[in-house]
Amino acid sequence: MIRTIKHLLLITVFFTVFILILQSCTSDDLGLPISSNSSLETEAQHQNGNQLTGEEFFLQMKAKQNKNPLSNIDIRKAIFHAVDRSRIAEEIFNGYNDISNSIFAEGTIFWDPAWAGYDYDLQKAEELLNKAGFGKDNPLYLTIRAVDNSSSRKLIEDIIKEDLEKIGINLWIYNDPPKEFYQNHIYNGDFDLGLWSLYICSDKDIENSFSSGKIPSMETGENTSCENFYWHSNTGIDDAIVRMASVDDPEAKSQTAREIQDILANDAVILPLYSRLFVFAYDDELESAGIRVLEDKFFYSIEDWTPSPVRETTEEEITEIRAGYCADSIDISNGFGTYFINDLLFKGLWKKNGDGSYSPELAEEVQGFRDELMDFPGNNISIKLKEDIYWQDGTPITSEDIVYTFEYFREFMEEKKYFSNLDEDYSKIKEINIIGEKSFTVVFEEPVKDWKKLFPQVLKKDQFSPADHDRLPYTMLVSSGPYKVASYDDSGEMVLEINEYYHNKVPDIGRLIIRFDPDINNLIAMLKEGEINFLSIPVDPELMKTLEEENGMKLLIEKGNLVEHLALSLKPKEG
């Protein structure tokens, strides 16, 4: 009997040790429970006799928790502290970019490092998550969504998933085609966490993205551009948006923009990751080069380009630089927006600065009245042009050119098939009345607050006929910018030369040859071989390193206004 009891005790001890060994297989080397999508799949779950997949088990566990866990600010802040943003930037850019702590590009007056307080701190993240009632022993189940055609976003998702699991948040990744992603999930608020680029350049962009009146479900024919996909509401932001729209002073706007960013960061609604980069490579034919990034378009600041001092040129020779352009042609007529080639040929009444303000270009004085109720310019704006401004043929720029430009744009807007990106506020212009050779009045059908954005380029009267609509003859363009078109070859080359009648500083580059090709690889090969001297290149760290180390080129890197960010949906969920 005693021997039988001893045998039973030995068997019990054996099975106890065996069970402990089995349990150790479900723990990591720190003794913490392993929790991942892969482990969920291997844990064959059974319910009512049916085996559940990892995804089904995950969603079952998610359904058992609070439907709106992200309404808890401690959870939101725990997520932000758990995401290693520096690692994300390093793995994607290999040292060529760093994290962003603002929704504006660094270097602009709207930039504010409001998110600098969200350092990578797992201990702080774990404490916040525990405060909300979750942790490694009671995991929180969330989903993250992005488009399925972006390798960088897939990498970001994997890093975020790995980071959040360290504090007790299990993440399931869903990647959708772009159209489905935005229409079915982002627009409808059907996501927990999301990844996409945020474009903020003006006070109007801030209103569209963060005003409580711009939640997508509120969109109507009158209330358009409802892009508050976060479903976030804060009266402090709403009040600041109204104040920002009522002032013209850049510093006052900047102060309000910083206030809005501080509220967004404190509410932990979005987490900026990094800003989009513009990268240009140039060889030793240039000592220095410059670009401007405005509204996420780049401009050649050709006035800031300096030829290499080692170049041996005679007084008769013209300093010549060859730039690459990735396209099968050069499309100047596409909306006549201010970008690249257009900025070298055409000048407008005003030019937009990086801080959102405007500086006079062809205009000299403006007179108008302000609506006392709405506090912005009313329906009549009187404008006087500068005296010493000329076209490339030496004829003065006059009020008749402004009227011609307006009628040219309006004709295309009526046809609808041209200039689809032309600003619709042109349709609010009733007429333009000429007062004198250098003065005119713009009469609006209704007040247009940001009216200086109109006429970013002015065309010479009668330089085109209706037959030219489909394809403008570029050699017939009459320039008011620093360059004029000397020749244009459909096979892949445009030559620009100095416009001696240009009213501002004349560039040191006497001739700019633009080689265009739709294949960026061809252009990169031309750059390496010295056939071109300047090129906008893809943000590819391996390529950038090769050009720097093997070809001895210099890189010009600028941050744009597209900010990749982690978004949280605060839309209340039913059930």
DSSP symbols for 423-469: -GGGGGEEEEEEEETTEEEEEESS--TTGGGS-SS---TT---GGGS
Dist. CA 181–CA 147, nearest whole Å: 6
Answer whether residue 284 shows pLDDT above 80: yes
3-state SS, residue 186 = helix
What's the mean per-residue pLDDT of the chain? 84
Tell me the per-residue pLDDT of 18-42, one tens digit each, with 9 for 90 and over: 333 333 333 333 222 333 444 444 4
CB 494 within 8 A of CB 345: no
CB 568 within 8 A of CB 231: no
State residue 424 phi and psi, 5-degree precision. Answer: -70, -15
Topology (CATH) of 60-276+563-568 = Dipeptide-binding Protein; domain 3 (3.10.105)
Who has greater pLDDT, 478 or 109?
A: 478
3-state SS, residue 176 = strand
Dist. CA 179–CA 455, nearest whole Å: 33
| pLDDT above 90 coverage of the chain, percent | 58
Widest pairwise Cα distance in the chain:
123
Q: Among 62-71, 304-313, 332-341, which is the least confidently predicted range?
A: 332-341
Answer whether residue 328 shows pLDDT above 70: yes
Among 117-131, 397-411, 501-515, name the most confident range.
Answer: 117-131
| pLDDT above 70 coverage of the chain, percent | 81
Question: Rounded mean pLDDT of 221-226?
Answer: 91
For residue 80, give the nearest of 173, 164, 152 by alpha carbon: 164
CB 337 within 8 A of CB 456: yes
Size of the chain, expressed as the number of residues it contains = 575
pLDDT classification of 318: cutoffs 50, 70, 90: confident
Who has greater pLDDT, 291 or 165?
A: 165
3-state SS, residue 88 = helix
Question: Rounded mean pLDDT of 324-338?
Answer: 72
Answer whether residue 367 shows pLDDT above 80: no
What is the reported pLDDT for 241? 95
Tell me the per-residue pLDDT of 379-421, one tens digit each, with 9 for 90 and over: 788 999 999 999 999 999 999 999 998 888 777 666 654 444 5
Question: Rounded mean pLDDT of 115-121?
Answer: 98
- Look-up of token digits 């989903």: 143
CB 213 within 8 A of CB 231: no
Taking the domains of the chain in order of start, what are their residue ranges?
60-276+563-568, 284-532
CB 463 within 8 A of CB 332: no
For residue 80, give the nearest of 194, 195, 168, 160 by alpha carbon: 160
Question: Rounded mean pLDDT of 161-190?
Answer: 95
What is the reported pLDDT for 308? 86
- Look-up of token digits 């730039």: 323
Dist. CA 226–CA 215, nearest whole Å: 6
What is the reported pLDDT for 285? 92
For residue 163, give the nearest of 203, 118, 131 by alpha carbon: 118
pLDDT classification of 465: cutoffs 50, 70, 90: low
Answer whether residue 423 shows pLDDT above 80: no
Question: Rounded mean pLDDT of 90-110?
Answer: 92
Q: Among 61-75, 106-120, 186-200, 331-345, which is the least confidently predicted range?
A: 331-345
Superfamily of domain 284-532: Periplasmic binding protein-like II (3.40.190.10)
pLDDT classification of 92: cutoffs 50, 70, 90: very high
Q: How many CA atoms does the CB half-sphere of 304 hold within 13 Å?
A: 9
Question: Rounded mean pLDDT of 528-542?
Answer: 95
CB 85 within 8 A of CB 99: yes
